[in-house]
A and B are shown apart, each in its own frame.
Chain A
Amino acid sequence: GDSVTQMEGPVTLSEEAFLTINCTYTATGYPSLFWYVQYPGEGLQLLLKATKADDKGSNKGFEATYRKETTSFHLEKGSVQVSDSAVYFCALSALNTGNQFYFGTGTSLTVIP
């Protein structure tokens, strides 16, 4: 079945460091891919998305490129801030599975000043 595998955390970085959170997926169809962020005490918020191969999603300095050949959607940011501390979830959704969303296990990021 469809699934998402995410890099294990927690991840701790110094402010202004480069961030990569790895995400790979398994899907029988042609999924859309998403990154969500969850701040403490809140629900999940969409960070970015890509709906077809080679699309790049971007928002608030974060980027991810839909790579069909490597079935990956890695999240990157060139310079993290303390306010980026949160849990990040990779997810997919596909028409052939009734638009059900499949989430990764989440990666906790802490950015220290």
Chain B
Amino acid sequence: KAGVTQTPRYLIKTRGQQVTLSCSPISGHRSVSWYQQTPGQGLQFLFEYFSETQRNKGNFPGRFSGRQFSNSRSEMNVSTLELGDSALYLCASSLDSAYNEQFFGPGTRLTVL
């Protein structure tokens, strides 16, 4: 079974630009979550999508948005990039149950110059 895939793996953008990151979950997984990981703040939850609906949301500004498609693939978008948005963005998928673990992708490393 293929794991969670994220594209692209690396991105370099400049302040003010926008970026879209993509995540393909494990086949059969309908829940997709996004996290931002930085050395200073650790792992922070962005949002979770289930069956194309945002089910949970973290404490991030509206510049961060996401969506999920009918095939469970998900995208997240960051508009008007700031230097502080430089981070590793991780996507995780899971079956819809508290007993089931999340499976993580390798992440997208975003650098904002």
Contacts and interface: CB of A to CB of B under 8 A. Distances in A.
Contacts, number: 58
Interface residues on B, range: 20 to 34
Contacts of B90: 43-44
B104 A100 contact: no
B42 A100 contact: no
Chain B binding surface, main DSSP class? strand
B104 A101 contact: no
B42 A94 contact: no
B94 A34 contact: no
Contacts of B4: 43
Interface residues of A, number: 24
A98 to B, nearest CB: 5
Interface of A: 31-32, 34, 36, 42-46, 49, 51, 89, 93-95, 97-103, 105-106
